[in-house]
Amino acid sequence: MGQDEILGAFRSAMRHVAATVYAVTTGHDGERFGILATAVSSLSFDPPSLLVCINRASTLHEPLGFADRFCVNVLGVGNRDVADCFMRVGAGEERFSVGDWVEEQGVPVLASAQSSLLCKLAHRHTFGTHTIFIGELIAARHRENAKPLTYYDGRYIDITEAPDQQP
């Protein structure tokens, strides 16, 4: 397979991987930064940790490198307006004009998110266009009845509305 063919097949494959949508946020020099991300994964329970993959060209990348802490806000279907705002508006503060953002340990936390996972930056690793940031959990909150905002085939869906299907 040629490189173009591999990339095309990879894009198609990933397009059909349903992914939970996160707002990854941090604070630096009194300013708030954040981007929408799906490349987020839990890493281990011991220590409780997770990883986020952030494009080095994004506005979050530099402040995240300086920051000591960041928050992984797991978006629910009720946070669709926040997702739209993060994609629509310019970088920095404007992204926080929609949503019930509160400050916790210098980091913006979305109070109505499905879950809020506040992390201390523990390690980073650069690969290609992205940096993998590893965070150790220092605080976490979860809303039991939330429905995750899910990205699938280039659009947002509510996976709890998927019809039952027999295998």
| Binding footprint of ligand FMN on the chain (CB under 6 A) | 21, 35-39, 53-55, 58-60, 87, 91, 151
Of 60 and 146, the one with the shorter C-beta distance to ligand FMN is 60
Quote the tokens at residue 105. 């340990």
Of 35 and 74, the one with the shorter C-beta distance to ligand FMN is 35
Burial of 109: CB neighbours in 10 Å, binned 0-12, 13-18, 19+: buried
75 with 21: CB under 8 angstroms?
A: yes
Residues 126 and 132: their CA atoms lie apart, in Å, by 6
Residues 127 and 46: their CA atoms lie apart, in Å, by 25
CB of 55 to ligand FMN, least distance (A): 3
CB of 138 to ligand FMN, least distance (A): 22
CB of 22 to ligand FMN, least distance (A): 8
Closest residue by Cα to residue 119 from 138, 134, 142, 141: 138
3-state secondary structure of 79: helix
Interstrand relation of 19-20 and 149-152 (parallel, antiparallel or unpaired)? antiparallel
What DSSP state is assigned to residue 160? Answer: G
117 with 109: CB under 8 angstroms?
A: no
Of 48 and 92, the one with the shorter C-beta distance to ligand FMN is 92
CB of 45 to ligand FMN, least distance (A): 22
CB of 43 to ligand FMN, least distance (A): 15
